[in-house]
Amino acid sequence: MHHKIDWRSEYYTKMFERYDRADFAQEFLRRNPSYRRQYDAALGKPAALGAVARHWGLVFRLRPRS
């Protein structure tokens, strides 16, 4: 179960101190109503999930092994 933390608490700011860009991007998407609607609608549909991932820039090319 997730507990809401008061944004004014000291703990709230401390929990973001170690975030990198990917962590902040994930937080943005998690809180974005449009992304959440699209993701929820695509659950269980691999092609639709792929389309959502591409739309939100979540598809990355793998680097070739050297």
pLDDT tens, position by position, 21-39: 988 998 899 999 999 999 9
The model's confidence at residue 2, banded by pLDDT at 50, 70 and 90, is low
**Where exactly are the structural domains of the chain?**
21-56
Q: What is the DSSP string of the chain?
A: ------TTSHHHHHTTTT--HHHHHHHHHHH-HHHHHHHHHHTT-HHHHHHHHHHTT---PPPPP-
- Asked whether residue 43 carries a pLDDT value surpassing 80, the answer given is yes
